[in-house]
Chains A and B, each alone.
Chain A
Amino acid sequence: MPTIVIDGEPYDVDGDKNLLETCLQLDKDLPYFCWHPAMGSVGSCRQCAVTQYQDENDERGRMVMSCMTPITDGMIVSLKDEATQEFRDSCIETVMTNHPHDCPVCEEGGECHLQDMTNMSGHTQRVYQGPKRTHRNQDLGPFINHEMNRCIACYRCVRYYQDYVGDTDLQAQGSGAKVFFGRHKDGALESEFSGNLVEVCPTGVFTDKTFSKHFVRKWDLQSAPSVCMHCAIGCNTSPGERNGTLRRIVNRYNGDVNGYFLCDRGRFGYDFVNDQRRLAEPLVQQGDSLDSTDRDDALAQYANLSADCEVIGIGSPRASLEANFALQQLVGEDNFYSGLASSEQALHQTSLTVLESTSALIASLRQVEQADAVLVLGEDILNTAPRLALAVKQATKNLGLNMAADARIPSWQAAAVKNLAQNQRSPLFMLTPAATRMDSIAQSCHNDVPANLARLGMAIANAIDGGAPGVNDLDDQEKELVAVIAETLKGASKPLVISGSGCFDVAVVQAAANISRALAAENDKAAIHLVLPEVNSLGLAMLCSKKPEADLNAAMKRTVDQVNGQAAVVVLENDLYRRAGKGLVDDFFDAAQSVVVIDSFHNDTTARAQLALPAATFAESEGTMVSSEARAQRYFAVHNTEGYVASSWKWLAELNKSVSWTHLDQLTAACANSSPLLAGITLAAPDREFRLNDQKVARQSHRYSGRGSATAHISVNETRVAQDDESALAFSMEGRQSNLPPALQPGIWSPGWNSNEAINKFQDEIGGHLKGGDPGIRLLDKATAGTQSGWFDSIPQKSMPGSQGYRLVPLHHIFGSEEFSSGSNAIAQRSPKPYAALCAADASALEVDQQGWLKVELNSGQWTLSVAVDDSLPRGVLGLPSGLTGLGGLQGAAYGGSASISKTQSPVIASDQTSGGGE
């Protein structure tokens, strides 16, 4: 370990880091703009200058950019040397010549890295009196504001957008002081990760447009540690609230999961919480309508509705473990059903089985980024688990990093690494039903129906390990592809297989399991990641693993066949019309004596309720979710619930007369005790009793304003702040603000560091894990030898699309396929309209083109859809978007089946195309 001297003090430091990282890691304040911990150094802003001395006798030294300076043993540097301090001051002064003095109206103000660095550098007096250069701003779509006059040309945005993410429609244009960062013309940024520009930009050029609608300063936001609800990856977020409205989401660093970045669905999908369609009060059926009532009446109504009959509970993969467990306890294990259609239940149970018994590592996103060969089997990860896709993109850069290491170029020398590697990437294989936006960085891509992809996967496993079942009758092209992939994965030091439930095909998951098993036999770094569709899909699968057959179809069948008219059905946070065909669900509800629904929104299921109980969303409740890497994570209420709205688990605890759960912790503990799989969940975060110096953790910043003044014109008496009995957090600015356990850290702030750049102060090393450990607890990992699974040996028949109608495959959309985020305006603006996709040859055979319309008939319904020509689809395959509003009645179960399609006329009324509807 090298020793260096900084301003006379010796330090033992990490020789792989650059001098800037080293100084920041030593908790020294050194200003910077262009360096970013995830993107390395390029040396453009010149802000991190320090003085380096040749030896003890060198009194003059020379100025170096710390971000571009490697650590050498014995090096002597000074941050306090007057010459470089002056230079840093001049640098800021120089960038500020063009920066407007608009902090009071700038949405970055208060969390602006430029403000912080200006203060740190000591530039306080403006000398320049000339004109400022101005730019024309662009409309970059519903997510991001563009205010180029504020730009200080640090180049972070384009480096993030092009180099880190790999998208191309944000560019540096022009030169000199007129350099412009934008698109070639106005239009929504194409990247799925554009929202991170808001945090990457050190000033207010790129700001959150959804936040603008209801903007408040960072210091006026109340925040809590939370988990993203919009897919199963479990990114850590820090939502901000003010006056009962959820205002925005920002990233909450987790070194194992999301690191510095979120996807746009996760960042901009929050607004559904503020939606008018929220259930605000308990509703009771009176004749044909649902009328509001109060809490006590609602509880009494439930007692009536559930008296003297079977109570059937329908759980949900979007509800917390505690809520599902509370429902399970309310209705009894025999009456609890998962709320998933049989086909999806089977998929999720298979995924759980694979993860429980895998001999490979279950890859966290950090581990994904370290992989040096990646096979994606069947999953359109960019749309079903976007943050995972961003991690895979980083994995493809490992070849370049290895080349750089061989050439003795340090990994943080971002531009040099890029220049050396050029277009050479670590191998990525994309085997998916249709082309994806990941394909351009893949070594090879192959599109086919899921059954055939599963066959390829099985063959790959067999090629790696002859003990795995083989596949006959592959054609020569397939054989070659299998050989190349098998050889590449086998030769890799950290091979990774990614698959998931996106194809709605169990065989695909089984094939991925076989490959990872084959790899793990020879390589203890081989890893697997299985994507699941919803935030708590894996948690629910764990809860249901003792009775995997207890799915929604079983509940419906039992109700209709056996307890017809004698069962009360309690549905927890689940719109069953998104899970099963309308006819089946209608029959189910018809057969129920009564339907009780606990949910946050009006939807088709609440419309069938005799009693609907208003549930808190993630922003007002707390609980535990299990992500696709089997990480149990606790999320906390950002703000208090209002009126009768309550956490689902609270409603369920109140409905249950046989238990006395007064706090979430009791439920969490009971849930943990219910299954060895879940035993670890109590460790996901400190419990409600946790205190630091007898204090709770403050959700509000110490600068939170207006607490007493908002109602001062009515009364100067301050009302008591809401009490949080469920966690160690307080709805208050009073309480601990620092040295918090990471799982209780509401937001990031450090003296002098008001932007999210403050995260440097919270990590064990720059870009490393959080001090105190990354939040969450892994429930599963590589299985011990005795419990590892055998081969899956059921190989699907070769699918010949076109032989019996069109074969249906799902097409996923980051914007539109997920239920919650679709309810947010900004996301809805980016969602596609329903469509039917097919290849050009099929389109021309049907005599339709991109402007044409098709009538699509399935067992579960029929739709008139506009044509989308996607030539990556094989012949005889029909791609339909998954989960889109407007394709109601099309559930996962339908995929894999076949459809008949025919040319039709454009619907007369435009709105018909989105009305969809089954039967």
Chain B
Amino acid sequence: METPLTQNIGPGKAPPNLAQYQANGGYEGLRNALNVSPEAAMDVVKESNLSGRGGAGFPTGLKWSFVPSGENSPTPKYLVANGDEMEPGTFKDRLLVEGDPHQLIEGMIISAYAIGASVGFIFLRCEYVLAAERCEKAIAECLENNLLGKDILGSGFDFELYVHGSAGRYICGEETALINSLEGRRANPRAKPPFPQVSGLWGKPTVVNNVETLCNVPHILRNGAEWYQNLGIGADSGTKLYGASGRVKTPGTWELPLGVPVRDLIEKHGGGMQDGYKMKGFLPGGGSTDFLTGEHLDLPMNYESIGKAGSRMGTGQLIIMDDQVCPVGMVLNLIQFFAQESCGWCTPCRDGLPQIQHLLEKLERGEGSWEELETLAEFPRFLGPGNTFCALAPGAVEPLQSALKYFKDDFDNHIKQKCCPYG
């Protein structure tokens, strides 16, 4: 099984410096890209079927193709690596940036070449201090070796790259809020259209890609689209960083072929549930995805199957809820997070999430009523897709709406017993 993304990464292993990275095939993908036209480089990525690893799974090559090109197109164009990883239960981007910063940088240089970007930013979650340090160091190495800056490797292509630390908001993971934040504005999302590819950072064409997405690019350019397609299972291309947290024996993050069954993640890689605990349900891709349960264990972990099952693959990092965790409490915990992280821009999210939190708190304390439970059940629709300005609120209520579907008894018991049955 090939694990290109983590080939240089291992527990306790220092990130490779430039020489070590290159010794293992690093920057070969870049050389290949620079030998062909930007359009040809983009075509390879399109052909590879690489899809966005931030959670939405949008085809990367297609996203790039919306950037206006040609002599009369606006300049400069920008490329941003979205490393504002604040999804609950998720730390895959951290692993990639800390473990192999050159992989991200190479991916960015190639991507920038493909879309014609001359300036790039690595936008990192503010707590990722070590990642920032390692990026800075790697960028310095690249500058010394003509891998960044003017006329990269004699190709005539110029690219500057900067590390930017976020001020610490979940919403900065939303690409347009990230752009506002980079501009020094409040991190409120922007309305689309216009899409960032047309009018993004400082009003210029901008592509924002997830760190993991960009880390795939060097390998695609090095080994070809077909090789990449064959990494995945079935129709899926490439590998994916999957993870599992909760009461499994060996929680962690692993690089696996895209489309691996859920059961493998929990039982094989996660080592199964700890003794005395049973799996009750799981969030497949972070805190903003719908619960799935035991009946979904044999689904392949890909965007399509998980979507059809009523959830989203999201970041692919499972959060496992066992039978001794109160679902109401767990949903409350997540809602508290999202209510706090709401940017405050649109009404349903800003003022709806605190209401949900209030109702869940009452319920969890055993002070809830049937009327309130009914009210609670109406919120997922009120905060649903299209009703709010961005996807934060619809994501925030996904655990609630699915908990009400799968664990309704637990909610009812809080009212019947006038306390949390889990103590």
- On A, residues with C-beta under 8 Å from B are 42-47, 49, 62-64, 68, 87, 90-91, 94-95, 97-98, 127-128, 130-131, 133, 152-153, 155, 172, 174-179, 407, 409, 413, 415-416, 419-422
Q: How far is the CB of B346 from chain A (nearest CB, A)?
A: 5
Q: How far is the CB of B163 from chain A (nearest CB, A)?
A: 23
A468 to B386 Cα, complex, angstroms: 61
Q: Which residues of B contact A128 (CB under 8 A)?
A: 355, 358
Q: Which residues of B contact A155 (CB under 8 A)?
A: 345
Q: Which residues of A contact B358 (CB under 8 A)?
A: 128, 130-131
A172 to B347 Cα, complex, angstroms: 15
Residue of A64, A97, A176, A178 most packed against chain B (CB within 10 A): A176
| B325-346 vs A, Cβ < 8 Å mask (1 yes, 0 no) | 0000000000000011111111
Q: Does B77 interact with chain A (Cβ within 8 Å)?
A: no
The answer to whether residues A177 and B186 also contact, given A45-B347, A94-B355, A420-B199 and a CB cut-off of 8 A, is no
Q: Which residues of A contact B203 (CB under 8 A)?
A: 419-422
Q: Are B350 and A153 interface neighbours, CB within 8 A?
A: yes
Q: Are B344 and A46 interface neighbours, CB within 8 A?
A: no
Q: Which of B199, B202, B387 contacts A46 (CB 8 A)?
A: B387
The answer to whether residues A179 and B350 also contact, given A130-B358, A409-B199 and a CB cut-off of 8 A, is yes
Q: Does B88 interact with chain A (Cβ within 8 Å)?
A: no
Q: Does B276 interact with chain A (Cβ within 8 Å)?
A: no
Q: Which residues of A contact B226 (CB under 8 A)?
A: none
Chain A binder among B190-198, B240-248, B403-411:
B190-198
A419 to B196 Cα, complex, angstroms: 10
Q: Which residues of B contact A421 (CB under 8 A)?
A: 203
- With A68-B191, A94-B348 known, 9 other A-B pairs at CB within 8 A are A44-B345, A47-B347, A87-B387, A90-B348, A177-B342, A409-B193, A409-B194, A416-B191, A419-B194
Q: 7 tightest CB-CB pairs across the interface, nearest first? A: A179-B344, A130-B358, A420-B203, A176-B342, A94-B351, A420-B199, A175-B344
Q: Does B8 interact with chain A (Cβ within 8 Å)?
A: no
A601 to B12 Cα, complex, angstroms: 86
A572 to B186 Cα, complex, angstroms: 55
A152 to B344 Cα, complex, angstroms: 10
Q: Does B3 interact with chain A (Cβ within 8 Å)?
A: no
Q: Does B261 interact with chain A (Cβ within 8 Å)?
A: no
Q: How far is the CB of A153 from chain B (nearest CB, A)?
A: 6
Q: Are B339 and A43 interface neighbours, CB within 8 A?
A: no
A409 to B195 Cα, complex, angstroms: 11
A421 to B202 Cα, complex, angstroms: 8
Q: Are B382 and A176 interface neighbours, CB within 8 A?
A: no
Q: Which of B339, B375, B382 contacts A177 (CB 8 A)?
A: B339
Q: Does B121 interact with chain A (Cβ within 8 Å)?
A: no
Tally of A-B residue pairs with Cβ under 8 A? 107
Q: Are A422 and B350 interface neighbours, CB within 8 A?
A: no
Q: Does B169 interact with chain A (Cβ within 8 Å)?
A: yes
The answer to whether residues A407 and B198 also contact, given A177-B339, A415-B190 and a CB cut-off of 8 A, is yes
Q: Are A127 and B347 interface neighbours, CB within 8 A?
A: no
Q: Does B165 interact with chain A (Cβ within 8 Å)?
A: no
Q: Does B300 interact with chain A (Cβ within 8 Å)?
A: no
Q: Does B354 interact with chain A (Cβ within 8 Å)?
A: yes
By size class, the interface of chain B is 20 to 34
Q: Which of B186, B190, B198, B343 contacts A176 (CB 8 A)?
A: B343
B200-235 at interface with A (beta carbon < 8 Å): 202-203
Q: Are A63 and B341 interface neighbours, CB within 8 A?
A: no
A416 to B196 Cα, complex, angstroms: 10
B370-408 at interface with A (beta carbon < 8 Å): 375, 378, 382, 386-389
Q: Which residues of A contact B353 (CB under 8 A)?
A: 176-177
Provide a sorted-by-A list of 7 A–B residue pairs whose CB atoms are within 8 angstroms.
A43-B389, A87-B387, A176-B339, A176-B340, A177-B353, A178-B344, A416-B199
Q: Which of A63, A91, A98 contacts B386 (CB 8 A)?
A: A63
Q: Which residues of B contact A43 (CB under 8 A)?
A: 191, 346, 389
Q: Which residues of A contact B57 (CB under 8 A)?
A: none
Q: Are A95 and B191 interface neighbours, CB within 8 A?
A: no
Cβ-closest chain B residue relative to A177: B354
A177 to B347 Cα, complex, angstroms: 9
Q: Are B191 and A175 interface neighbours, CB within 8 A?
A: no
Q: Does B59 interact with chain A (Cβ within 8 Å)?
A: no
Q: How far is the CB of B356 from chain A (nearest CB, A)?
A: 11
Q: How far is the CB of A266 from chain B (nearest CB, A)?
A: 31
A639 to B328 Cα, complex, angstroms: 64
Q: Are B347 and A44 interface neighbours, CB within 8 A?
A: yes
Q: Which residues of A contact B382 (CB under 8 A)?
A: 87, 90, 94
Q: Does B352 interact with chain A (Cβ within 8 Å)?
A: yes
Q: Which residues of A contact B375 (CB under 8 A)?
A: 127
Cβ-closest chain B residue relative to A416: B194
A178 to B348 Cα, complex, angstroms: 14
Q: How far is the CB of B111 from chain A (nearest CB, A)?
A: 23
Q: Are B186 and A172 interface neighbours, CB within 8 A?
A: yes
Q: Are B355 and A97 interface neighbours, CB within 8 A?
A: yes
Cβ-closest chain A residue relative to B342: A176
A176 to B203 Cα, complex, angstroms: 26
The answer to whether residues A46 and B342 also contact, given A87-B382, A179-B350, A419-B190 and a CB cut-off of 8 A, is no
Q: How far is the CB of A423 from chain B (nearest CB, A)?
A: 9
Q: Are A95 and B199 interface neighbours, CB within 8 A?
A: no
Q: How far is the CB of B389 from chain A (nearest CB, A)?
A: 6
Q: Are B339 and A46 interface neighbours, CB within 8 A?
A: no
Cβ-closest chain B residue relative to A152: B347
| B168-205 vs A, Cβ < 8 Å mask (1 yes, 0 no) | 01000000000000000010001101100011001100
Q: Which residues of B contact A176 (CB under 8 A)?
A: 339-344, 350, 353-354
Q: How far is the CB of B75 from chain A (nearest CB, A)?
A: 14
Q: Which residues of B contact A416 (CB under 8 A)?
A: 190-191, 193-194, 199
The answer to whether residues A44 and B389 also contact, given A420-B203, A422-B202 and a CB cut-off of 8 A, is yes
Q: Which residues of B contact A409 (CB under 8 A)?
A: 193-194, 199
Q: Are B191 and A94 interface neighbours, CB within 8 A?
A: no
Q: Which residues of B contact A64 (CB under 8 A)?
A: 386
A176 to B343 Cα, complex, angstroms: 5
Residue of A62, A421, A422 most packed against chain B (CB within 10 A): A422
Q: How far is the CB of A722 from chain B (nearest CB, A)?
A: 47
The answer to whether residues A419 and B199 also contact, given A130-B358, A176-B343 and a CB cut-off of 8 A, is yes
Q: Are A175 and B202 interface neighbours, CB within 8 A?
A: no
A120 to B45 Cα, complex, angstroms: 52
Q: Are B388 and A46 interface neighbours, CB within 8 A?
A: yes
Q: Which residues of A contact B388 (CB under 8 A)?
A: 46
Q: Which of A63, A68, A98 contacts B351 (CB 8 A)?
A: A98
Q: Are A62 and B386 interface neighbours, CB within 8 A?
A: yes
A415 to B179 Cα, complex, angstroms: 13
Cβ-closest chain A residue relative to B375: A127
A91 to B346 Cα, complex, angstroms: 10
Q: Are B194 and A97 interface neighbours, CB within 8 A?
A: no
Q: Which residues of B contact A45 (CB under 8 A)?
A: 346-347
A178 to B203 Cα, complex, angstroms: 29
Q: How far is the CB of A150 from chain B (nearest CB, A)?
A: 14
A174 to B169 Cα, complex, angstroms: 11
Q: Are A46 and B355 interface neighbours, CB within 8 A?
A: no
Q: How far is the CB of B199 from chain A (nearest CB, A)?
A: 5
Q: Are A42 and B191 interface neighbours, CB within 8 A?
A: yes
A135 to B62 Cα, complex, angstroms: 46
Q: How far is the CB of B344 from chain A (nearest CB, A)?
A: 4
Q: Which residues of B contact A90 (CB under 8 A)?
A: 348, 378, 382
Q: Which of B199, B340, B345, B348 contacts A407 (CB 8 A)?
A: B199
Q: Are B344 and A177 interface neighbours, CB within 8 A?
A: yes
Q: Are B190 and A177 interface neighbours, CB within 8 A?
A: no
Q: Which residues of B contact A133 (CB under 8 A)?
A: 354
A407 to B345 Cα, complex, angstroms: 25
Cβ-closest chain B residue relative to A33: B347
A416 to B192 Cα, complex, angstroms: 9
Q: How far is the CB of B170 from chain A (nearest CB, A)?
A: 10
Q: Which residues of B contact A98 (CB under 8 A)?
A: 351
Q: How far is the CB of A33 from chain B (nearest CB, A)?
A: 8
Residue of B343, B346, B352, B375 most packed against chain A (CB within 10 A): B346
Q: How far is the CB of B290 from chain A (nearest CB, A)?
A: 21
